[in-house]
Chain A
């Protein structure tokens, strides 16, 4: 097919990726990479370059809307970004010593288990007086808009969340899979933050994580302008639409969508490692 047709199709796929990424806090790479490699046969390196562009665009677009609505917790985002950066550094250091295949399998199992955990509904506003001293010192608690008005929430287990996020940074760096999923999981399961706050704060953070890899990708030529162009132009409106939808969406439905995407990610990882792909 010619470039025009190709670009239009990629644009369409990217729109979907942006929409999904903005709803789930995942950044859209999960749709973009398989779409480009399996459907269009694009070289994997161009695909991950395009995925990076889509993650940054989703992040900026969605985060802008969510911040304005008051969902994103800026402080949690900043706090956890530190962990991600540490994780990325550690990952880069240990990359030579780690068996990627073994890690992939372990990770796939973890993802499947996490998908199960995320699927289960949890009370969104547990009454709990105990507050981590770290949480109080860093002022991580907040409130988010619901149909009933502003609901406040408490953040628990900040050190556990931080540790999980370092691990997530390491894994993302080593395996190249998006860290958005881990971010949401750490916030939702460990820190017990309301789901919509977890996904929107994840959206806020993934742009920074992706920007950190951008230098390497540019230098190695992974980012192809002709390919990145339709991706970026498609992802952004999709992300903005997703942000509008999230406001009114039922949290349990969002959880289900998120779990399904995790399952797909896990299966894809296993598949890739079995066929020896990158």
Chain B
């Protein structure tokens, strides 16, 4: 059994391997489990079980009268209502397309994929921050360089019509750093541009590490391929 602490929150996609059923016994005192979009309402004292067939969806069984709606891979939820008097099962099919909250301390039986998928969300958040900080850092440096550049050259006529083909400053990071340290505005801007270009590359590299940690080797291979392609094209330009 895996205990999902406070991570039982809305928004995760439950993908299951083909042969397992997840049992989600819900706590009685978690009324926020009930979604107002679900077709399964609170039914008072009636007990019912829900099963959603795998491959079309997710298998869930609920042992209380709390309701639960899960979607993600599924478009179909089948549930059986046990009539308290006659104890017969009635099958009703319905479409559910909203993911809703699980109670704060639900337990999931034997399912590693859930925790993996939660860390997918963490990966997304991490990459979001990486991109944001990378681009802001690059912009800040470019801004500083830009201000110096405009102070120095602002009054001169703009003549970008003529292509000069200079690339010497970029030919090595050392040159860029020397330029930066001596306060040359071009060098500072170029440093910012280098950081900008490095940001998506760093993003791919970090994603690969994250997939490695998740042991998702298919995606490690995909990301590694992309990373190699990037490095090859960057290095190839200077060779």
Q: Tell me if A93 is interfacial: C-beta within 8 Å of chain B.
A: no
Task: Tell me how far the C-beta of B194 lies from the nearest C-beta in chain A, rounded to whole angstroms.
Answer: 8
Q: Tell me if A224 is interfacial: C-beta within 8 Å of chain B.
A: yes
Shortest Cβ distance from A60 into B: residue: B135
Q: Tell me if A120 is interfacial: C-beta within 8 Å of chain B.
A: no
One digit per residue, 1 when the CB lies within 8 angstroms of any chain A CB and 0 when it does not, for chain B 9-24 equals 0110101000000000
Q: A3-B158, A142-B13, A229-B149 are in contact. Are A60 and B75 (CB under 8 A)?
A: no
Interface-lining segment among B44-52, B81-89, B104-112, B230-238: B230-238
For residues 31 through 66 of chain A, which have their beta carbon under 8 Å from a beta carbon of chain B?
36, 40-43, 45-46, 53, 56-57, 59-61, 63-65
Evaluate contact between B13 and A74: CB separation under 8 angstroms: no
One digit per residue, 1 when the CB lies within 8 angstroms of any chain A CB and 0 when it does not, for chain B 203-230 equals 1100100000000001100110110011
Evaluate contact between A148 and B98: CB separation under 8 angstroms: yes
User: Which of B142, B143, B156, B203 is within 8 Å of A3, CB to CB?
Assistant: B156
Q: A3-B158, A64-B129, A143-B13 are in contact. Are A131 and B226 (CB under 8 A)?
A: no
User: Which of A1, A56, A215 is within 8 Å of B237, CB to CB?
Assistant: A215
Q: How far is the CA of A136 from the CA of B233 in the complex (A)?
A: 32
Q: Tell me if A171 is interfacial: C-beta within 8 Å of chain B.
A: no
Q: Tell me if A160 is interfacial: C-beta within 8 Å of chain B.
A: no
Q: How far is the CA of A228 from the CA of B233 in the complex (A)?
A: 21
Evaluate contact between A207 and B200: CB separation under 8 angstroms: yes
Task: Tell me how far the C-beta of A206 lies from the nearest C-beta in chain B, rounded to whole angstroms.
Answer: 9
By a CB distance below 8 angstroms, the chain B residues around A3 are 150, 153-158
Task: Tell me how far the C-beta of B144 lies from the nearest C-beta in chain A, rounded to whole angstroms.
Answer: 10
Evaluate contact between A226 and B153: CB separation under 8 angstroms: yes
Q: How far is the CA of A212 from the CA of B204 in the complex (A)?
A: 12
For residues 132 through 183 of chain B, which have their beta carbon under 8 Å from a beta carbon of chain A?
132, 134-135, 138-139, 142-143, 145-146, 149-150, 153-158, 160-167, 170-171
Evaluate contact between B128 and A64: CB separation under 8 angstroms: yes
Shortest Cβ distance from A40 into B: residue: B160
By a CB distance below 8 angstroms, the chain B residues around A236 are 135, 139
Q: How far is the CA of A12 from the CA of B185 in the complex (A)?
A: 22
Q: Tell me if B72 is interfacial: C-beta within 8 Å of chain A.
A: yes
User: Which of B71, B125, B143, B170 is within 8 Å of A67, CB to CB?
Assistant: B125
Interface-lining segment among A99-107, A122-130, A256-264, A269-277: A122-130
Interface-lining segment among A78-86, A108-116, A175-183, A185-193: A78-86
Q: How far is the CA of A225 from the CA of B141 in the complex (A)?
A: 12
Q: Tell me if A242 is interfacial: C-beta within 8 Å of chain B.
A: no
Q: How far is the CA of A43 from the CA of B98 in the complex (A)?
A: 52
Q: A74-B120, A142-B13 are in contact. Are A53 and B196 (CB under 8 A)?
A: yes
Dominant SS among interface residues on chain A: helix
Task: Tell me how far the C-beta of B104 lies from the nearest C-beta in chain A, rounded to whole angstroms.
Answer: 19
Shortest Cβ distance from B186 into A: residue: A225
Q: How far is the CA of A227 from the CA of B164 in the complex (A)?
A: 13
What size tier do the contact residues of chain B reach?
35 or more
By a CB distance below 8 angstroms, the chain A residues around B138 are 57, 232
One digit per residue, 1 when the CB lies within 8 angstroms of any chain B CB and 0 when it does not, for chain A 145-184 equals 0001111101000000000000000000000000000000
Shortest Cβ distance from A79 into B: residue: B222
Q: How far is the CA of A240 from the CA of B23 in the complex (A)?
A: 43
Evaluate contact between B158 and A1: CB separation under 8 angstroms: yes
Shortest Cβ distance from A135 into B: residue: B73
Q: Tell me if B40 is interfacial: C-beta within 8 Å of chain A.
A: no
Q: Tell me if B99 is interfacial: C-beta within 8 Å of chain A.
A: yes
Q: A3-B156, A221-B167 are in contact. Are A232 and B223 (CB under 8 A)?
A: no
By a CB distance below 8 angstroms, the chain A residues around B223 are 78
- Residues of B near any A CB (own CB < 8 A): 10-11, 13, 15, 37, 56, 71-73, 75-76, 95, 97-99, 120, 123-125, 127-129, 131-132, 134-135, 138-139, 142-143, 145-146, 149-150, 153-158, 160-167, 170-171, 185-186, 189-190, 192-193, 196-197, 199-201, 203-204, 207, 218-219, 222-223, 225-226, 229-230, 233-238
- Residues of A near any B CB (own CB < 8 A): 1-7, 36, 40-43, 45-46, 53, 56-57, 59-61, 63-65, 67-68, 70, 72, 74-75, 78-79, 81-82, 85, 88-89, 125, 127-129, 131, 136-139, 141-143, 148-152, 154, 207-208, 210-216, 218-221, 223-230, 232-233, 236
Q: What are 17 pairs between A and B in contact, CB < 8 Å?
A: A1-B158, A3-B155, A7-B158, A67-B128, A78-B226, A82-B225, A129-B75, A129-B76, A141-B73, A152-B72, A154-B75, A207-B199, A215-B233, A215-B234, A215-B236, A219-B237, A233-B146
Closest 9 CB pairs of A and B: A215-B237, A85-B229, A215-B234, A207-B200, A6-B158, A4-B154, A67-B128, A221-B167, A225-B189
